[in-house]
Chain A
Amino acid sequence: MSRLGSCVRPPDASNTGSLSVEIAAGRAFRHSALVRVTHWIITLCFLALLLTGIEILISHPRFYWGETGNNLTKPLFQIAIPSSRKLVPTGYGYVLPDQNGWSRALHFQAAWVAVLTGLLYAIFGLLSGHFWNDLVPDKTHLSWAAFSNAIVSHLYFKRPSEAETWSYNVLQRLAYLMVIFVLFPLVIWTGLAMSPTFTAAFPWTVILLGGRQSARTIHLFVSIALVLFLLVHIVMIFLAGFWSRSRAMLTGRAGTPMERT
């Protein structure tokens, strides 16, 4: 059994007797080692990026569209919070302490770790078949019946089936694909498009987005989408069984079927 490879297939999709034995004994792996390690590194980075991103946002909670925007121009919208800069017209009578120094440093350092870890994960995902086997919906998922079934069971907050211990359901697959191949690349791109030196070397990275301030505004919305994903992700872990799912992402093992009920 490959531990570096993709998820273990559900018992009924496999004809190897030994796998059923491993599952029954609680020794089968739900997540490979590389998926688990990169998952937690990126989780830590994401939390650091979120916290420091909020701190940086507080220094100018106004958002614009196009190339430029500042305190003297009309914003697209303004977040109704106090600011850490005196000249921002917030309507609040006080100014918050400036946290941008360490926040920017940690933001970029966490971004480096996240991007390098993400690259490692992406290379692994392509070579090991993880993306193809575990994330791309397979034939059984791609019928309206299967799809609507998955939506209905989510709407009724049904506990996942035993097979879902070993394989992701179709909504899960689409959500993960969206995060990995759309939201993460977009948040990295819009972040780089705010760097004056990076855009000097690659001007199209900001021109395609409609300007520096558009890049900043999209960066905010993609970050909000990632936070929404995180919240739904956590709710789903609780619905599916917090200990079983957390243990699977920490140790790789999902536990015996008995422990999961």
Chain B
Amino acid sequence: MTHISRRKIILGGVAATAGVAGLGVAARIAERYGLIPPDHGGIYGPGETLNYAFQRLVARRSSAREFPRSWISERPFPNEIAPPSEAFKRLQVGGFADWRLSIDGMVDRPTAFSLNQLRSYPRRSQITEVACEEGWSYIAEWIGVPLFEVLNTVRVRPQARYVVYFSIEPDWWDSLDMAEAMHPQTFLTYAMNGNNLPVGHGGPLRMRVPRQLGYKSVKFITHLTVTDTLKRFGKGFGSGAPEAGYAWYAGI
């Protein structure tokens, strides 16, 4: 056996102290640069934090891959959704003429947009892939208005850190950090492959977040709130997904 020398003990002590101090400093820096996800607690918190911090560091400004028109899937799969609520059905009967997207929170001009008002923005499109966490995927052309254009209209205040978005269907909501919300590919989508967005794919209005897995692209959006903290929403994890064990950050 080796005998443990005094030098080794001292070196070990210095290394341990430096390690703890280093972790503390790293946590401070990570918090300051927005590298800590809202669901950083619990036994899987370290993994979630590493996923989020690593991808924010290497891909903050990268764009999701876009594909040629010939790659658009002939049969896009509309995932299972719960039967529509009464509120949804009433609006559907009226051809969604009364559908509103209300934006409030840390903005100078809280506004409720009709679908026609959203359509009056320059029409943008992207041919991107929907990738579900289960493993399947399809490519479609998504048409709508980039979220940042709408956010610029309502004037987001500088202290804002997250955009929380809600479906008309109960308990279906999620949130994005400002980097993702202001990303040019993050769309409020009202059409797909040249037609109105089908209900099965989230019509009349769906959040489209192509740099993250499908479940961040919440369907039937009626409400956005801009905020500096997610603590007041649900259990404070940033979306309903972490409450079911799924990661808030779905870039992986």
Residues of A in contact with B (beta carbons under 8 Å apart)? 3, 56-57, 59-60, 62, 67-73, 85-87, 100-102, 104-106, 108-110, 112, 194-201, 203, 206, 212-213, 216
Contacts and interface: CB of A to CB of B under 8 A. Distances in A.
Contacts of A62: 135-136
Interface string B186-223: 00000000000000000000000011110000000000
A87 B129 contact: no
14 contacts: A59-B134, A68-B138, A72-B75, A101-B244, A105-B247, A108-B47, A110-B47, A196-B129, A196-B251, A197-B251, A200-B59, A201-B55, A206-B65, A213-B137
- The secondary structure that dominates the A interface is helix
A60 B129 contact: no
Interface residues of B, number: 42
Contacts of A3: 2
B211 A212 contact: no
A104 B48 CA distance: 10
Given A108-B47, A195-B252, A87 B80 contact: yes
A67 B75 contact: no
Contact of A212 (B47, B51, B129, B245): B129
Contacts, number: 125
B77 interface: yes
A206 B246 CA distance: 24
Interface in B103-155: 129, 131-139
A87 B73 CA distance: 19
B227 to A, nearest CB: 23
A103 to B, nearest CB: 9
B139 A108 contact: no
Contact of B55 (A72, A197, A206): A197
B46 interface: yes
A70 B246 contact: no
B246 A108 contact: no
A203 B2 CA distance: 50
Contact of B65 (A59, A85, A110, A203): A203
A101 B62 CA distance: 27
Given A102-B44, A196-B213, A73 B73 contact: yes
Instruction: Tell me what chain B mostly uses at the interface: helix, strand, loop, or mixed.
Output: loop
A71 B62 CA distance: 30
Nearest to A103: B245
A67 B71 contact: yes
A196 B210 contact: yes
A212 B135 CA distance: 9
B50 interface: yes
A101 B75 contact: no
Given A108-B51, A197-B251, A71 B137 contact: no
A197 B62 contact: yes
Contacts of A197: 55, 59, 62, 211-212, 251-252
B139 A68 contact: yes
A198 B55 contact: yes
Nearest to A111: B47
A60 B252 contact: no
Nearest to A203: B65
B51 A101 contact: no
Contacts of B64: 196, 199-200
Closest 9 CB pairs of A and B: A101-B245, A109-B47, A197-B251, A105-B44, A201-B59, A70-B77, A70-B136, A72-B75, A60-B135
A204 B157 CA distance: 37
B233 interface: no
A85 B64 CA distance: 27
Nearest to A57: B135
B5 interface: no
B63 interface: yes
Given A106-B44, A196-B64, A68 B133 contact: no
A196 B47 contact: no
Given A197-B62, A201-B58, A213-B137, A86 B80 contact: yes
Contact of B131 (A57, A71, A201, A212): A212
